[in-house]
Amino acid sequence: MLFVALMSGTSYDGVDVVAAEFTRHADTLRLRPLGHRELAYPDELRDAIAALLPPAATTVEAVCRLDNRLGAVFAEAAAVGVELAGGRADAVVSPGQTVFHWVDGGVTRGTLQLGAPARVAERVRVPVLSDLRAADVAAGGQGAPLVPAFDALLLDPAGGARAALNLGGIANLTVVAPDAPVLGYDVGPANALLDAAARRLLGRPHDTDGARAAAGRVHPALLELLLAEPYYAAPAPKSTGKELFHPGYLDERLAALGKPVAADDVLATLTELTARTVAAECDRHRVVEVVAAGGGVRNRTLMSRLAALGARRWRLRTTAELGVPTQAKEAYAFALLGWLSWHGLPGALPSVTGARRAAVLGSWTPSGPARAAAPPVVPRRLVIDGC
Tens digits of residue pLDDT in 17-38: 999 999 999 999 999 999 999 9
Q: With contact defined as beta carbons under 8 Å apart, do 271 and 144 qualify? A: no
pLDDT at residue 369 tops 70: no
| Residue 79 Cα distances to 3, 14, 358, 367, angstroms | 12, 15, 31, 15
Residues belonging to the chain: 387
Going by pLDDT thresholds of 50, 70 and 90, the confidence category of residue 10 is confident
Specify which residues 129 forms β-bridges with: 93, 364
pLDDT at residue 169 tops 60: yes
Q: With contact defined as beta carbons under 8 Å apart, do 104 and 62 qualify? A: no
Give phi and psi for 181, each to the nearest 5: -65, 150
Q: What's the pLDDT at 342?
A: 96
| Residue 362 Cα distances to 143, 175, 185, 344, angstroms | 11, 24, 20, 11
Mean pLDDT value across the chain: 94
pLDDT at residue 374 tops 70: no
Q: With contact defined as beta carbons under 8 Å apart, do 33 and 325 qualify? A: yes
Regarding beta strands 128-130 and 91-93, do their DSSP bridges make them parallel or antiparallel, or are they unpaired?
parallel
At the top level of CATH, the class of 148-322 is alpha beta
- Of 55-59, 274-278, 316-320, 333-337, the one with minimum mean pLDDT is 55-59
Q: What's the pLDDT at 103?
A: 86
Count Cβ atoms within 10 A of the Cβ of residue 205 and give its class: 0-12 exposed, 13-18 middle, 19 or more buried: middle
pLDDT at residue 370 tops 60: no
- Of 101-110, 155-164, 176-185, 257-266, the one with minimum mean pLDDT is 101-110
Task: Residue 200: name the closest of 271, 244, 251 by CA.
Answer: 251
| CATH code given to domain 2-146+327-384 | 3.30.420.40
Q: What's the pLDDT at 239?
A: 87
Task: Residue 132: name the closest of 371, 342, 324, 319 by CA.
Answer: 342
Q: Mean pLDDT across the stretch 354-379?
A: 82
Q: Mean pLDDT across the stretch 142-162?
A: 94
Count Cβ atoms within 10 A of the Cβ of residue 110 and give its class: 0-12 exposed, 13-18 middle, 19 or more buried: middle
| C-alpha to C-alpha distance for 27 and 336, rounded to whole angstroms | 14
Specify which residues 184 forms β-bridges with: 174
Domains 2-146+327-384 and 148-322 agree in fold: yes
Which are the contacts of 343, defined by CB distance < 8 A and separation ≥ 6? 373, 374, 376, 377
pLDDT at residue 351 tops 60: yes
Regarding beta strands 162-167 and 289-293, do their DSSP bridges make them parallel or antiparallel, or are they unpaired?
parallel
- Of 46-50, 128-132, 265-269, the one with minimum mean pLDDT is 46-50
Give phi and psi for 184, each to the nearest 5: -165, 140
pLDDT at residue 258 tops 70: yes
Regarding beta strands 28-40 and 381-384, do their DSSP bridges make them parallel or antiparallel, or are they unpaired?
parallel
| Residue 387 Cα distances to 321, 336, 355, angstroms | 9, 18, 34
Q: Mean pLDDT across the stretch 253-262?
A: 95
Q: Where are the domains of the chain?
A: 2-146+327-384, 148-322
Going by pLDDT thresholds of 50, 70 and 90, the confidence category of residue 7 is very high
| C-alpha to C-alpha distance for 344 and 351, rounded to whole angstroms | 20
| C-alpha to C-alpha distance for 385 and 32, rounded to whole angstroms | 5
Q: Mean pLDDT across the stretch 374-381?
A: 78
Q: What's the pLDDT at 247?
A: 92
The model's pLDDT over 56-68, given as tens digits with 9 standing for 90+, comes to 899 999 999 999 9
Query: What would you measure as the largest C-alpha separation in the chain, in angstroms?
Result: 64
Backbone conformation region of residue 26, classed left if phi is above 0, alpha if psi is from -120 to 50, else beta: left
The model's pLDDT over 213-249, given as tens digits with 9 standing for 90+, comes to 999 999 999 999 999 999 999 999 898 888 899 999 9
Q: What's the pLDDT at 11?
A: 81
Q: Percent of the chain having pLDDT more than 70?
A: 98
User: Which letter does DSSP use for residue 42 in this model?
Assistant: P
Going by pLDDT thresholds of 50, 70 and 90, the confidence category of residue 372 is low
Going by pLDDT thresholds of 50, 70 and 90, the confidence category of residue 371 is low
User: SS3 of 360, please?
Assistant: coil
Torsion of CA 173, 178, 180, 183, to 10 degrees: 10
Going by pLDDT thresholds of 50, 70 and 90, the confidence category of residue 375 is low
Q: Would you say the C-alpha torsion 11, 15, 19, 22 has a positive or negative sign?
A: positive
10 Å Cβ neighbour count for 314?
A: 22
User: Which letter does DSSP use for residue 199 in this model?
Assistant: I
Buried b (16+ CB within 10 A) or exposed e, 65-102: ebbebbbebbbbbbbbbbbbbeeebbbbbbbbbbbbbe
Report CA 371 to chain centroid distance, whole Å: 30
Q: How many CA atoms lie within 13 A of 223 on its CB side?
A: 16
